[in-house]
Amino acid sequence: MIYTTEYSSEITIIRPGVERLTAVNAKAFKDEMTALIDDGSAHLIVDFKDVTFLDSSGLGALVGILKRVGNRGDLAVSGLRPDVEQMFRICRMDRVFTIYNDVETAAQTMSESL
Amino acid sequence: MINRSFHMKNDIEDVDRMVMSLKSVVKDILDSTTMFRFEICLSETLTNSVKHADTHDKEMPIEVTLIETASALVVDVFDPVGAGFFDLRDHAKDLDSVDLMAESGRGLGLIVQCADAVTYGALKGRNRLALDFLKTVT
């Protein structure tokens, strides 16, 4: 489901691999992300540029992933389309996640902070 | 004016197909902002119906009707036959009160916040959730 790209030895970029991240696939998304974290990836950027819709289950999965990362690293999101960004705002998730316009900016900023 | 009924399987795998079908029917009568709210409400409502409607017969479909009036689109979502009474308005949390780090508990609040009106009760012997979306005056 997810597609991963190594931006550097420390930063991993993830694309969810679905257009709609909903109750249908949120658990699989969380499970795959959790496996990635448990394998040692700690600085993660989830690029939502290909995701057109996100429901509360998808957001819940993302929160669970953030908690899994914990103090070991960082999780940021990028490329939110207007409807997805609106969903983040309605659910106050813009207070929880660091949001970047695009994955390049996210990766550059995260690498400079390491 | 739209006046149509749809049926979906009581199966989480059928929710997205149903939401996309309903969107295609109403695309010409809702503006983009209202369409966004419509999509959230339908996705959360149908997911909630599949996950939590307490019915012993999972083969019974979930019925959705779309009724267009001069001023609004009314979406009726009928609980599957055998499901217990569940008025989501009694359980929905204000989204400001949900723990930011909670992994669940936002769906019902989203429905209440995103629909222009939410009602629930018995209709023709079945329990029905009605979601109203006001049409934009042009």
Domains and CATH numbers, chain B: 3-134 (3.30.565.10)
* pLDDT value, residue A9: 92
Question: Is the pLDDT confidence value at B66 over 70?
Answer: yes
Q: Is B132 helix (H, G, I), strand (E, B) or coil?
A: strand
Find tokens 């009724």 and name the residue: B67
Whether A23 sits inside 8 A of B103 (CB atoms) is: no
Interface test with A, best of B10, B11, B16 (most A CBs within 10 A): B16
pTM given for the model: 0.94
Q: For residue A51, is it within any domain? A: yes
Contacts of A39 (CB under 8 A, 6+ apart): none
Nearest to A49 by CA among A24, A74, A15, A23: A15
User: In 3D, which of A11, A12, A19, A9 has the Cα closest to residue A1?
Assistant: A19
What is the side-by-side order of every strand in the sheet holding A11-15? Answer: A3-6, A11-15, A43-47, A74-78, A98-100
Query: How many structural domains comprise chain A?
Result: 1
Question: Which residues from chain B sit within 8 angstroms of residue A95, using beta carbons?
Answer: 100
Q: State the average pLDDT over residues B124-133.
A: 93
Residue A95 belongs to a domain? yes
More confident residue, B131 or A1: B131
> Is A24 near chain B, with CB under 8 Å?
yes
Q: Where in the sequence is the domain holding A65, given as residue range(s)?
A: 3-106
Q: How confident is the model at residue B29 (pLDDT cuts 50, 70, 90)?
A: very high
Across the interface, whether the CB atoms of A22 and B103 are under 8 A apart is answered: no
> Which of B12, B96, B106 faces A24 most closely, judged by CB atoms?
B12
How many beta-carbon contacts under 8 Å exist across A and B?
Answer: 63
A53-62 mean pLDDT: 98
Q: What pLDDT is stored for residue B58 in this prediction? A: 76
Residue A112, domain member (yes or no): no
Contact A69, A75 (CB under 8 A): yes
Looking at the partner chain, which of A24, A55, A83 has a beta carbon nearest the beta carbon of B44?
Answer: A55
Q: Is residue A47 part of a domain?
A: yes
Helix, strand, coil percent content, chain B, rounded in steps of 5: 35, 25, 40
Given a cut of 60, is residue B80 above it in pLDDT?
A: yes
Helices A82-90 and B107-114 sit at what angle, rounded to 10 degrees?
Answer: 110
Indicate which CATH number applies to the domain containing A85: 3.30.750.24
pLDDT for res B138: 52
Find the mean pLDDT for residues B110-121: 97
Helix (H/G/I), strand (E/B), else coil: B123: strand
